[in-house]
Structure 1
Amino acid sequence: MSDQDTTDEKGASEGASGKRTLSLKPSAGTVRQSFSHGRSNSVVVEKRKRRIVMPGDTPAPAETSAEAPKPTPKVVTQTKRRVIKPGAGAGASSAKTETARSATNAEQEARLNALKLAQQREVEEAKAAAEEAKRRAEEEARLKKEAEEEAARLAEEAKRAAEEEARKPKVKEKPVVEDEPVAAAAPKRGASDDAAPARGGRGGDSRKRAETPSPAKPTPRTDERRRSKLTINRALNDDGNQRGRSMAAMRRRQEKARRGQQQSGPREKVLREVTIPDAITIQELANRMAERAVDVIKVLMTQGQMLTVNDIIDADTAQLIAEELGHTVKRVSEADVEEGLFSTDSADDDEAGAPRPPVVTIMGHVDHGKTSLLDAIRNANVVQGEAGGITQHIGAYQVEKNGQQISFIDTPGHEAFTAMRARGAKATDIVILVVAADDSVMPTTVEAINHTRAGEVPMIVAINKMDKPEADPNRVRTDLLRYEVQVEGMGGEVQDVEVSATTGQGLDNLLDAILLQAEIMELKANPDRAAEGVVIEAQLDKGRGPVATVLVQRGTLKKGDILVAGGAWARVRALIDDHGKQVNEAGPSAPVEVLGFQDTPSAGDPFAVVETEARAREITEYRQRQLRETTAARLGTARGSLEQMMTRLQESNLREFPILVKGDVQGSVEAIVQAVEKIGNEEVAARVIHAAPGGVTESDIALAAASEAPIIAFNVRANKQARDTAQAEGIEIRYYNIIYDLVDDIKAAMEGLLSPERRETMLGNAEILEVFNITKVGKVAGCTITDGKVERGSGVRLIRDSVVIHEGKLKTLKRFKDEVAEVTTGQECGMAFENYEDIRKGDVIECFRVEEVARKL
């Protein structure tokens, strides 16, 4: 076998295995490659066209090109593939040939399909690229047009600014160097300048550099900052290479300049509608008016009030301030939360109402027998339960007469319980005025008459103590005429009944008069509705908590109801009637004790039943906040008044007597505070630092210790811890059960703070007959006593020509050579003054004694 045959067989085997070898024809071309530093290389390259094999054809070997890295040409030969034709025999079968041909055809079809898909993708991508290029060109054209318009507008503005500057008077200014890009400022070099280093060598280049110094190259950061500035030249000669300011930035800049021009001129005041609540701070009012708080304080100062921004003012003052500053005012109130709490429809009681018992209040002067009369009516001994035999609480009771109920309210007659009597008159239907037949009309009786008229309720006069021998009912009727109370016996419309609480005389007639008056009034109430009424009395019980005595006026109060009274609310835990028994409900005109309050209500507060606890909390929180703000506004205004500040400065010598009051019920505490505040004068006054119902606690001791005040306990006691703390702190706790004694003791204690009164007693007069100058003694006046007597050590006045020229003390009183205690009328004596010697013949000496007397309130 020759070498050629071996090569053919090897090529055939390699072609059958799928590998192709590279071969070059002898007639291939030569290509010369040039490298750096003068090196070159010759490479023989043969190029062949790629033959596209169609289905049914035999694939041709692939065309390749090769490069030899060596400088001498090298020929890479490839042996021809021997094609085995059908019929040649040579060990190949026709079945194999057909199988290879079918596989080749399938492969060619797949390649053609892939080629078509690639061509389609290329067409679509070219189309999308063309559309994107068109869109970008349009966008660039639009942006360029906008930039040209903005540049033209800026040029026009610059031109107008230049014209305005030209019109103004010229002032020497430093030349302003226009901010140009650094690249534009650099000198441009031509082709000859670029070629100069090559021709002239290094020497010529250095000489040229020395003659023409090049500008300093800025740092990249400065260059970027300068390139970012938009100048007129840059806007007009936009080269497109640098990024300019955006339109939004330019609009912001123009808007800022416009705002600066607006702020430079006077700002126009904006008048607003100001919403003002019941109480508001000065700072909040200023914010709502968009005014400075200083301006609001200046307005207040012109009105004579010195306040700060955190002080609270009332709605009227805030309205005056707002109107003074030119604003309009809209008054609002948070009281909307109370809408619907109390019913104002009285037609409901007239239409759906049932007859209700009358509410009767017994009023009159102290010790005229009010409680004894009620005691006789209800057959109970109430007077023995009251300390000192006087009523100090409002008692509410219910009695029955001829199958009809009558509710009684007993009020104190002491002058300190004015507020209690006023509350009793407001909550009642009929007032019984008790007047003692032996004492007639007294000041508290007149006060009760005034309360009755203020409440617009009918009156029945009960002339009590008819069992006494000195009783004179006609005197009572006559005295009542002075106060426009005309009884039926005097031709008037007021019923009068003569009674005796001791013997029971006339009690039935009194009850009949009450029922007759109630029948005339036609009292009705609807029991099938939510309860409403008034708090008669309230107290803090140690075992039961806050307890309130209430009088139901409308509806029915039931166990479990939620009621609101003033700033306190309660879920009714228990209802206790006047006999101490628990009941499940209380109808109209029924007095009951209510347990379950969260806090102690105030006596006289109206109450109403609400649906939920949330509404009860909302109402009570509003009322508590309103009370705090109103109190703060009142105190703040009083504190800031210039007039009151001057008054306080003038009354700096006013001494205060601080006390802390604790009582059994709210009404007693209120009466004690009112009675104590009435005591005093321009030199001393009582100041109640704290007053509340309930026992004395450790917190009360701490407050009293801080204020250095005694504690007044009325019908209450201190617990053991409080007593120990008081003893350790040295705080005095004084216990009382009669308001007379309490008021008297406080008055006596306050009198001790008064400075004693200087009382002067005239002793006598003496006339100077001669003046002697004695060695080591001084001037001594020889006198004769013209009137009264003269005592050693007494006060003297020296009177010359009816003018007092000296007042002092007598140092020496001698008769002949002896020192004497006193000299009487007609006797002669010698006198010398303390620290004074300007005495003359004919002067008159007036002698007096000064006594200090304790003052009374």
Structure 2
Amino acid sequence: DTVTVPVSAKTGKGVEDVLEMILLVAEVADVKCIPEGNARGIIIDSRMDKAVGPLATLVVKDGILRPGDYVVAGSASGRVKALINEYGKRIKEAHPSDPVQIIGFDEVPDVHSVVYAVENLDTSRSLAEYAKNKAQKEKSVTTRHHIRLEEFLSTTGNSDEKKDLNVILKADSFGTVEALKQALAKLENNDVRIEVVHSGIGSVNSSDVMLASASDAVIMGFKVKPDAQARKLAEVEGVQIKVYEIIFNLIDDLKKALEGLLEPEEVDEVIGHGHIKQLFRISKVGTIAGVQVDDGHVLKKGRMRVYRKNEEIADVAIEVLKHYKDDASRVDAPMECGIKALGFDDFQEEDQLEFHSKKSVKRTIDFTE
């Protein structure tokens, strides 16, 4: 429900009522801020000023913002040269809920982007560069569309010619690969032909993803997982990787795809990355990992993959998520947090973390030629 209050800026009628309602809604919704520490804010306006360069207007949400702080907002970064309040006067610090203009960005940041104060200029530049590269990758993904099991029959269903479903098979042994090939051969019919473009043993790697992209194939793995580089490359190339532990499920998904009956899938979505800065071992509690969230966010109800020297060593559920001393349901980059994993304590400093969660994706059909 939304509170509505009659108000007139011309006569001033209702202004006091609006302020009271803001306080009431904030109290009911338990809207709170973190009054100290690194600042975080939301940009509400930005422009290129002929006199001072990129100029951003923001509302501080958490922490204290001061001249000299290093900041990042999406692909824009810099150092705060000056803070200007709503009266056009320079101020020494801005607190939560304060509207303020920032001079010091290297480019005009996007409106609605989140501003974070970070430790140093290198951190702000690296985060901005990462955001810029991520945006370019997402843009490139929108121009690529490879076949998915959910769409196979639907995208070609009106044609009388025989359809080809290209598949790349990876398994844990040669015997399993041959058994899968024989099982796939039995699924072929007069309308559909399954073409095994490539097969092999071992984890799904970058070469498999590039081959799948070139041949418009689906990668299907049995008792193997994609490595970290293959996961990232698959996102960029728009290639689907399906991993199975039970051979019946693999065959059943293929049958449903060929019959056009595959239900919307529950996909594993990567939502952020981070690394472990420090470990805290607490008796009767276990190991708490002090984590720097590098990009995206981490959810308490999510999971995380732990990588050491680019190799996945664990995929665990998150049991406890804290921001400072408070329990948190979500922590966004570039903030720090404490994480306790469910049933896993073998962390090391500088371990790389990939946060992910399950998301139900509705069936979509691409009608473009």
Structure-1-length-normalised TM-score: 0.16
More helix by share: 1
- Which structure has more RCO (C-alpha within 8 Å, separation ≥ 6)? 2
TM superposition score normalised by structure 2? 0.37
Q: Could you say which structure has the higher strand fraction?
A: 2
